[in-house]
Structure 1
Amino acid sequence: MDLKVGDLVELKKQHPCGSNNFEIVRTGADFRIKCTGCERQLWIPRSNLERRIKKIISKVD
């Protein structure tokens, strides 16, 4: 899956704050994503993130 810094993604499971939209902040073996609802950042392995993505909302060129 081609994901870049700045992309907005919608995950299948929502964050405890109620939002399920996240912005990708860092890429690599582990991704750092930021919740668009509460601005909290979390680390997630690439394999877990790719499995949990429901759709890509917007892509950065």
Structure 2
Amino acid sequence: MERKQFSLGDVVMMKKSHPCGANEWQIIRMGADIRMKCVKCDRSVMIPRSQFERQMRKVIRQADPGKMDIL
């Protein structure tokens, strides 16, 4: 199985939606754990990379290298 490609600042779709109803998350930290921020309500969660790779469906928007609105 091919590993999914994602990078810092990408907006991804996950299998389960956030309790606020949004299904889009922005990746704001990468390492052994992935921290992502809900696009709708700006809450952030941190999950292990292995769990993130299993639950990620697809990359919705690639990060713009010139402009990163993480903080």
TM-score for both structures, normalised by structure 2: 0.79
The percent of aligned pairs where both chains have the same amino acid is 46
Q: Structure 1 stretches of 5 or more lacking a match?
A: none
The one-letter code sitting in structure 1 at the alignment partner of 2:15 is: K
Matching of residue 43 in structure 1 with residue 43 in structure 2: no
Determine which structure has more spread, i.e. the larger CA radius of gyration.
Answer: 2
Rounded Cα–Cα distance in structure 1 between residues aligned with 2:5 and 2:31: 11
Q: CA RMSD in A?
A: 1.1
**Matched positions, count:** 61
Q: Structure 2 stretches of 5 or more lacking a match?
A: 66-71
Q: Which aligned pairs between 1:21-32 and structure 2 lie closer than 5 A?
A: 21-32=24-35
